[in-house]
Protein backbone atom coordinates (compact mmCIF):
# COMPACT_ATOMS: atom_id res chain seq x y z
CA UNK A 1 0.00 0.00 0.00
CA UNK A 2 1.45 3.37 -1.01
CA UNK A 3 1.53 6.29 1.41
CA UNK A 4 -1.24 8.03 -0.51
CA UNK A 5 -3.37 4.89 -0.22
CA UNK A 6 -2.72 4.86 3.54
CA UNK A 7 -3.93 8.46 3.83
CA UNK A 8 -7.07 7.60 1.95
CA UNK A 9 -7.65 4.46 4.07
CA UNK A 10 -7.49 6.47 7.31
CA UNK A 11 -9.71 9.17 5.83
CA UNK A 12 -12.28 6.54 4.89
CA UNK A 13 -12.29 5.06 8.39
CA UNK A 14 -12.86 8.42 10.09
CA UNK A 15 -15.25 9.81 7.47
CA UNK A 16 -17.68 6.90 7.77
CA UNK A 17 -17.88 6.88 11.60
CA UNK A 18 -20.47 8.62 13.76
CA UNK A 19 -18.67 7.97 17.05
CA UNK A 20 -14.99 8.17 18.04
CA UNK A 21 -12.74 5.13 17.62
CA UNK A 22 -9.89 4.23 19.97
CA UNK A 23 -6.43 4.67 18.48
CA UNK A 24 -5.37 1.07 19.24
CA UNK A 25 -8.53 -0.28 17.62
CA UNK A 26 -7.98 1.95 14.60
CA UNK A 27 -4.39 0.76 14.20
CA UNK A 28 -5.54 -2.86 14.42
CA UNK A 29 -8.25 -2.32 11.78
CA UNK A 30 -5.73 -0.75 9.44
CA UNK A 31 -2.96 -3.23 10.23
CA UNK A 32 -0.31 -0.56 10.77
CA UNK A 33 2.38 -0.14 13.43
CA UNK A 34 1.99 2.81 15.83
CA UNK A 35 4.66 4.93 14.09
CA UNK A 36 2.97 4.56 10.68
CA UNK A 37 -0.44 5.39 12.12
CA UNK A 38 0.73 8.69 13.63
CA UNK A 39 2.71 9.63 10.53
CA UNK A 40 -0.37 9.16 8.34
CA UNK A 41 -2.58 10.95 10.88
CA UNK A 42 -0.27 13.99 10.86
CA UNK A 43 -0.28 14.10 7.07
CA UNK A 44 -4.08 13.83 6.98
CA UNK A 45 -4.37 16.72 9.40
CA UNK A 46 -1.92 18.74 7.28
CA UNK A 47 -4.30 18.28 4.35
CA UNK A 48 -7.03 20.00 6.38
CA UNK A 49 -8.94 16.99 7.66
CA UNK A 50 -11.19 17.98 10.62
CA UNK A 51 -9.78 15.34 13.00
CA UNK A 52 -11.11 15.65 16.56
CA UNK A 53 -9.32 13.89 19.43
CA UNK A 54 -11.51 13.03 22.41
CA UNK A 55 -9.53 12.06 25.49
CA UNK A 56 -10.30 8.50 26.50
CA UNK A 57 -12.51 7.90 23.47
CA UNK A 58 -10.29 8.28 20.42
CA UNK A 59 -10.59 9.97 17.04
CA UNK A 60 -13.43 11.20 14.86
CA UNK A 61 -14.20 13.80 12.19
CA UNK A 62 -16.00 17.02 13.03
CA UNK A 63 -19.19 16.43 11.06
CA UNK A 64 -19.97 20.15 10.97
CA UNK A 65 -17.00 20.67 8.64
CA UNK A 66 -17.27 19.60 5.00
CA UNK A 67 -14.07 17.92 3.89
CA UNK A 68 -12.90 15.83 0.96
CA UNK A 69 -9.37 14.90 0.03
CA UNK A 70 -8.15 17.00 -2.92
CA UNK A 71 -7.29 15.58 -6.30
CA UNK A 72 -7.59 12.14 -7.82
CA UNK A 73 -6.47 9.32 -5.56
CA UNK A 74 -6.18 6.53 -8.09
CA UNK A 75 -3.04 4.92 -9.36
CA UNK A 76 -2.62 5.06 -13.14
CA UNK A 77 -3.56 1.37 -13.42
CA UNK A 78 -6.67 1.76 -11.24
CA UNK A 79 -7.87 4.81 -13.15
CA UNK A 80 -7.32 3.17 -16.54
CA UNK A 81 -9.16 0.03 -15.43
CA UNK A 82 -12.17 1.91 -14.06
CA UNK A 83 -12.52 4.17 -17.08
CA UNK A 84 -12.11 1.22 -19.44
CA UNK A 85 -14.76 -0.75 -17.52
CA UNK A 86 -17.13 2.20 -17.67
CA UNK A 87 -16.61 2.65 -21.41
CA UNK A 88 -17.19 -1.03 -22.07
CA UNK A 89 -20.32 -1.12 -19.94
CA UNK A 90 -21.76 2.00 -21.56
CA UNK A 91 -21.24 0.52 -25.02
CA UNK A 92 -22.83 -2.80 -24.06
CA UNK A 93 -26.03 -3.46 -25.93
CA UNK A 94 -29.22 -4.36 -23.98
CA UNK A 95 -29.24 -8.02 -23.11
CA UNK A 96 -29.80 -10.75 -20.57
CA UNK A 97 -27.29 -9.29 -18.10
CA UNK A 98 -28.96 -5.88 -17.73
CA UNK A 99 -30.09 -6.53 -14.15
CA UNK A 100 -26.60 -7.59 -13.08
CA UNK A 101 -24.68 -4.95 -15.08
CA UNK A 102 -26.63 -1.86 -13.96
CA UNK A 103 -25.57 -1.99 -10.28
CA UNK A 104 -21.95 -2.39 -11.42
CA UNK A 105 -22.25 0.71 -13.60
CA UNK A 106 -23.61 2.69 -10.64
CA UNK A 107 -20.84 1.53 -8.31
CA UNK A 108 -18.13 2.55 -10.77
CA UNK A 109 -19.71 5.98 -11.23
CA UNK A 110 -19.91 6.51 -7.46
CA UNK A 111 -16.34 5.36 -6.95
CA UNK A 112 -15.05 7.72 -9.63
CA UNK A 113 -17.06 10.61 -8.20
CA UNK A 114 -16.04 9.98 -4.60
CA UNK A 115 -12.33 9.95 -5.33
CA UNK A 116 -12.09 12.83 -7.77
CA UNK A 117 -12.12 16.57 -7.14
CA UNK A 118 -15.17 17.87 -8.95
CA UNK A 119 -17.91 15.58 -10.17
CA UNK A 120 -17.82 15.16 -13.92
CA UNK A 121 -14.32 16.60 -14.32
CA UNK A 122 -12.73 13.17 -14.66
CA UNK A 123 -14.94 12.28 -17.60
CA UNK A 124 -14.17 15.56 -19.36
CA UNK A 125 -10.45 15.59 -18.71
CA UNK A 126 -9.29 11.99 -19.26
CA UNK A 127 -9.59 9.97 -22.45
CA UNK A 128 -8.73 6.40 -23.35
CA UNK A 129 -8.21 6.06 -27.09
CA UNK A 130 -8.32 2.73 -28.91
CA UNK A 131 -5.78 2.27 -31.68
CA UNK A 132 -7.11 0.81 -34.92
CA UNK A 133 -9.98 -0.88 -33.10
CA UNK A 134 -11.86 -3.43 -35.17
CA UNK A 135 -15.47 -4.54 -34.93
CA UNK A 136 -15.89 -7.88 -33.19
CA UNK A 137 -18.20 -9.31 -35.86
CA UNK A 138 -21.39 -11.36 -35.46
CA UNK A 139 -19.85 -14.63 -34.21
CA UNK A 140 -18.19 -13.60 -30.95
CA UNK A 141 -21.02 -14.98 -28.79
CA UNK A 142 -20.97 -18.33 -30.62
CA UNK A 143 -17.23 -18.62 -30.05
CA UNK A 144 -17.58 -17.68 -26.39
CA UNK A 145 -20.41 -20.20 -25.90
CA UNK A 146 -18.40 -23.02 -27.45
CA UNK A 147 -15.44 -22.03 -25.30
CA UNK A 148 -17.51 -22.11 -22.09
CA UNK A 149 -19.35 -25.33 -22.98
CA UNK A 150 -16.10 -26.99 -24.16
CA UNK A 151 -17.55 -27.87 -27.56
CA UNK A 152 -15.91 -27.93 -30.97
CA UNK A 153 -16.64 -25.32 -33.65
CA UNK A 154 -16.99 -25.50 -37.40
CA UNK A 155 -16.00 -22.13 -38.81
CA UNK A 156 -15.44 -20.47 -42.17
CA UNK A 157 -12.45 -18.19 -41.86
CA UNK A 158 -11.19 -15.48 -44.20
CA UNK A 159 -7.43 -14.99 -44.02
CA UNK A 160 -6.35 -11.41 -44.68
CA UNK A 161 -2.81 -12.25 -45.75
CA UNK A 162 -3.83 -15.03 -48.16
CA UNK A 163 -7.17 -13.48 -49.10
CA UNK A 164 -8.81 -16.90 -49.04
CA UNK A 165 -11.77 -18.52 -47.31
CA UNK A 166 -11.24 -21.88 -45.62
CA UNK A 167 -13.37 -24.16 -43.47
CA UNK A 168 -11.87 -25.12 -40.12
CA UNK A 169 -12.82 -27.69 -37.50
CA UNK A 170 -11.44 -26.30 -34.22
CA UNK A 171 -11.41 -26.90 -30.46
CA UNK A 172 -11.59 -23.47 -28.74
CA UNK A 173 -9.05 -22.93 -25.96
CA UNK A 174 -9.06 -19.21 -25.12
CA UNK A 175 -10.35 -15.82 -26.23
CA UNK A 176 -7.61 -13.19 -26.28
CA UNK A 177 -8.11 -9.41 -26.43
CA UNK A 178 -5.03 -7.78 -27.95
CA UNK A 179 -4.59 -4.30 -29.42
CA UNK A 180 -8.32 -3.61 -29.48
CA UNK A 181 -9.17 -6.85 -31.31
CA UNK A 182 -10.41 -10.31 -30.24
CA UNK A 183 -8.71 -13.56 -31.21
CA UNK A 184 -9.87 -17.15 -30.78
CA UNK A 185 -7.00 -19.39 -29.73
CA UNK A 186 -7.89 -22.94 -30.78
CA UNK A 187 -6.61 -26.36 -31.75
CA UNK A 188 -7.09 -26.71 -35.52
CA UNK A 189 -7.96 -30.30 -36.39
CA UNK A 190 -7.03 -29.75 -40.05
CA UNK A 191 -3.56 -28.35 -39.29
CA UNK A 192 -3.14 -30.55 -36.18
CA UNK A 193 -1.66 -27.66 -34.27
CA UNK A 194 -2.58 -24.54 -32.30
CA UNK A 195 -3.79 -21.57 -34.31
CA UNK A 196 -5.40 -18.21 -33.60
CA UNK A 197 -8.23 -16.64 -35.55
CA UNK A 198 -9.25 -12.98 -35.65
CA UNK A 199 -12.87 -13.19 -34.51
CA UNK A 200 -14.06 -10.49 -36.92
CA UNK A 201 -12.69 -12.57 -39.84
CA UNK A 202 -14.89 -15.57 -38.97
CA UNK A 203 -17.59 -15.67 -41.65
CA UNK A 204 -19.72 -18.42 -40.07
CA UNK A 205 -19.57 -20.43 -36.85
CA UNK A 206 -21.49 -23.51 -35.76
CA UNK A 207 -21.19 -25.30 -32.42
CA UNK A 208 -20.76 -29.05 -32.90
CA UNK A 209 -22.09 -31.71 -30.57
CA UNK A 210 -18.59 -32.98 -29.87
CA UNK A 211 -16.29 -32.33 -26.94
CA UNK A 212 -13.41 -29.96 -27.58
CA UNK A 213 -9.90 -31.31 -27.42
CA UNK A 214 -8.27 -30.09 -24.21
CA UNK A 215 -4.80 -28.56 -24.42
CA UNK A 216 -2.91 -28.08 -21.12
CA UNK A 217 -2.52 -24.49 -19.96
CA UNK A 218 1.24 -24.96 -19.80
CA UNK A 219 1.34 -25.74 -23.52
CA UNK A 220 -0.95 -22.83 -24.38
CA UNK A 221 1.25 -20.48 -22.37
CA UNK A 222 4.38 -21.70 -24.10
CA UNK A 223 2.82 -21.38 -27.53
CA UNK A 224 1.08 -18.02 -27.18
CA UNK A 225 2.99 -16.17 -24.48
CA UNK A 226 6.64 -16.74 -25.29
CA UNK A 227 7.07 -15.39 -28.81
CA UNK A 228 6.65 -11.79 -29.85
CA UNK A 229 3.14 -10.33 -29.89
CA UNK A 230 0.00 -12.00 -31.14
CA UNK A 231 1.92 -14.35 -33.44
CA UNK A 232 2.41 -17.15 -30.95
CA UNK A 233 4.69 -20.11 -31.08
CA UNK A 234 8.06 -21.08 -29.77
CA UNK A 235 10.58 -18.26 -30.23
CA UNK A 236 13.18 -19.37 -32.74
CA UNK A 237 15.13 -16.15 -33.05
CA UNK A 238 16.17 -13.08 -31.08
CA UNK A 239 15.92 -9.72 -32.83
CA UNK A 240 18.70 -7.27 -32.00
CA UNK A 241 17.52 -3.72 -32.64
CA UNK A 242 19.52 -0.52 -32.33
CA UNK A 243 17.53 2.67 -31.78
CA UNK A 244 18.80 6.23 -32.21
CA UNK A 245 19.21 8.48 -29.21
CA UNK A 246 16.04 10.30 -30.24
CA UNK A 247 13.94 7.12 -30.28
CA UNK A 248 15.66 5.71 -27.19
CA UNK A 249 13.84 8.19 -24.95
CA UNK A 250 10.59 6.36 -25.77
CA UNK A 251 11.67 2.80 -26.52
CA UNK A 252 13.64 2.41 -23.28
CA UNK A 253 10.35 2.64 -21.37
CA UNK A 254 8.33 0.37 -23.67
CA UNK A 255 7.61 -3.29 -23.05
CA UNK A 256 7.78 -5.20 -26.30
CA UNK A 257 8.11 -8.63 -24.69
CA UNK A 258 8.22 -10.03 -21.12
CA UNK A 259 11.70 -11.48 -21.75
CA UNK A 260 13.19 -8.56 -23.64
CA UNK A 261 16.63 -7.22 -22.73
CA UNK A 262 17.77 -3.68 -23.30
CA UNK A 263 20.72 -1.45 -22.61
CA UNK A 264 21.60 2.21 -23.10
CA UNK A 265 24.53 2.71 -25.46
CA UNK A 266 27.43 5.11 -25.05
CA UNK A 267 26.11 7.50 -27.72
CA UNK A 268 22.67 7.68 -26.09
CA UNK A 269 21.13 5.08 -28.36
CA UNK A 270 19.37 1.96 -27.12
CA UNK A 271 19.84 -1.71 -27.95
CA UNK A 272 16.80 -3.97 -27.57
CA UNK A 273 16.78 -7.77 -27.81
CA UNK A 274 13.38 -9.36 -28.45
CA UNK A 275 12.61 -13.09 -28.85
CA UNK A 276 10.18 -13.91 -31.65
CA UNK A 277 8.76 -16.74 -33.69
CA UNK A 278 6.94 -15.34 -36.72
CA UNK A 279 8.30 -11.95 -37.83
CA UNK A 280 5.13 -10.25 -39.10
CA UNK A 281 4.10 -8.16 -36.10
CA UNK A 282 7.67 -7.46 -35.07
CA UNK A 283 8.37 -6.11 -38.55
CA UNK A 284 5.35 -3.78 -38.31
CA UNK A 285 6.58 -2.39 -34.99
CA UNK A 286 10.10 -1.93 -36.36
CA UNK A 287 8.84 -0.09 -39.46
CA UNK A 288 6.91 2.46 -37.40
CA UNK A 289 10.25 3.81 -36.13
CA UNK A 290 11.50 4.47 -39.67
CA UNK A 291 15.11 5.73 -39.78
CA UNK A 292 15.44 5.70 -35.99
CA UNK A 293 15.97 1.93 -35.78
CA UNK A 294 18.36 -0.54 -37.39
CA UNK A 295 18.01 -4.32 -37.29
CA UNK A 296 21.42 -5.73 -36.37
CA UNK A 297 20.43 -9.41 -36.29
CA UNK A 298 19.40 -11.91 -37.47
CA UNK A 299 20.37 -11.36 -41.09
CA UNK A 300 17.03 -12.69 -42.40
CA UNK A 301 15.07 -10.15 -40.37
CA UNK A 302 17.41 -7.36 -41.42
CA UNK A 303 16.94 -8.27 -45.10
CA UNK A 304 13.16 -8.49 -44.63
CA UNK A 305 12.89 -5.01 -43.08
CA UNK A 306 15.29 -3.54 -45.66
CA UNK A 307 13.16 -5.00 -48.45
CA UNK A 308 9.97 -3.51 -47.07
CA UNK A 309 11.65 -0.10 -46.75
CA UNK A 310 12.89 -0.30 -50.36
CA UNK A 311 9.38 -1.18 -51.52
CA UNK A 312 7.97 1.81 -49.62
CA UNK A 313 10.64 4.19 -50.91
CA UNK A 314 10.03 3.05 -54.50
CA UNK A 315 6.44 4.30 -54.35
CA UNK A 316 7.62 7.85 -53.64
CA UNK A 317 10.64 7.75 -55.94
CA UNK A 318 8.52 6.66 -58.89
CA UNK A 319 5.86 9.22 -58.11
CA UNK A 320 2.97 6.85 -58.69
CA UNK A 321 1.11 4.06 -56.93
CA UNK A 322 2.77 0.65 -56.98
CA UNK A 323 1.66 -2.89 -56.22
CA UNK A 324 1.45 -2.85 -52.41
CA UNK A 325 1.34 -6.62 -51.90
CA UNK A 326 4.13 -7.83 -49.57
CA UNK A 327 7.28 -8.79 -51.50
CA UNK A 328 8.79 -10.95 -48.77
CA UNK A 329 9.54 -13.74 -51.23
CA UNK A 330 11.73 -11.39 -53.29
CA UNK A 331 13.32 -9.45 -50.43
CA UNK A 332 13.98 -12.12 -47.81
CA UNK A 333 13.65 -15.74 -46.89
CA UNK A 334 11.22 -14.87 -44.06
CA UNK A 335 7.62 -15.49 -45.20
CA UNK A 336 4.72 -13.47 -43.90
CA UNK A 337 2.43 -15.86 -42.00
CA UNK A 338 -1.33 -15.81 -42.37
CA UNK A 339 -2.76 -13.62 -39.63
CA UNK A 340 -2.19 -15.94 -36.74
CA UNK A 341 -4.73 -18.50 -37.87
CA UNK A 342 -4.99 -18.44 -41.59
CA UNK A 343 -2.16 -20.86 -42.24
Highest average pLDDT, of 45-54, 157-166, 285-294, comes from 285-294
**Has residue 51 got a pLDDT over 80?**
yes
- Residue 277: DSSP 8-state: S
**Has residue 124 got a pLDDT over 70?**
no
Complete domains list, the chain, with CATH? 3-61 (1.10.10.10), 76-125 (no CATH), 140-219 (2.30.30), 237-331 (no CATH)
Could you tell me which of 200, 203, 201, 205 has the C-alpha nearest to residue 172? 205
Lowest mean pLDDT among 107-121, 133-147, 307-321: 107-121
d(CA 309, CA 320): 16
CA atoms within 13 A on the CB side of 127: 4
Res. 122 pLDDT band, cuts 50 70 90: low
**Has residue 338 got a pLDDT over 50?**
no
d(CA 279, CA 336): 7
**Has residue 258 got a pLDDT over 70?**
yes
Q: What contacts 235, CB < 8 A, 6 or more positions away?
A: 226, 227, 228, 275, 276, 277
Highest average pLDDT, of 109-113, 177-181, 310-314, comes from 310-314
Res. 119 pLDDT band, cuts 50 70 90: very low
Res. 17 pLDDT band, cuts 50 70 90: confident
d(CA 251, CA 62): 50
Identify the pLDDT of residue 91.
62
**Has residue 132 got a pLDDT over 90?**
no
Q: How high is the mean pLDDT of the chain? A: 80
Identify the pLDDT of residue 2.
73
Q: Give, in order, the Cα–Cα distances in Å from 162 to each of 145, 224, 286.
A: 28, 22, 22
Q: What contacts 311, CB < 8 A, 6 or more positions away?
A: 322, 327, 331
**Has residue 69 got a pLDDT over 80?**
no
pLDDT tens track for 25-45: 888 888 999 899 898 888 888
Res. 160 pLDDT band, cuts 50 70 90: confident
Identify the pLDDT of residue 126.
59
d(CA 29, CA 52): 19
d(CA 111, CA 101): 16
Identify the pLDDT of residue 304.
95
Instruction: Say if residue 116 is exposed, middle or buried (CB neighbours under 10 Å; 0-12, 13-18, 19+).
Output: buried
Identify the pLDDT of residue 47.
79
Identify the pLDDT of residue 141.
85
The C-alpha angle 287, 292, 297, rounded to 5 degrees, equals 70
> With contact defined as beta carbons under 8 Å apart, do 22 and 52 qualify?
no
pLDDT tens track for 210-230: 999 999 999 888 887 766 666
Mean pLDDT, range 268-286, rounded to an integer: 91
d(CA 32, CA 26): 9
Amino acid sequence: MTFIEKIYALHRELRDRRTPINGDDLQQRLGWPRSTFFRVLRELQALGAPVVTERGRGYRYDKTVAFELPGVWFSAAELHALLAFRALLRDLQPGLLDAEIEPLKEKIEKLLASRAAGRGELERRIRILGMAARETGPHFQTCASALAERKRLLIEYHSRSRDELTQRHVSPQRLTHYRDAWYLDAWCHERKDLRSFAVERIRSAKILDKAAREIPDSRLDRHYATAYGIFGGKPRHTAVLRFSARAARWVANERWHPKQRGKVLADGGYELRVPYGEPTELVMDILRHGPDVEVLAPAELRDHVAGRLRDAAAIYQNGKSQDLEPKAARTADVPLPAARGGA
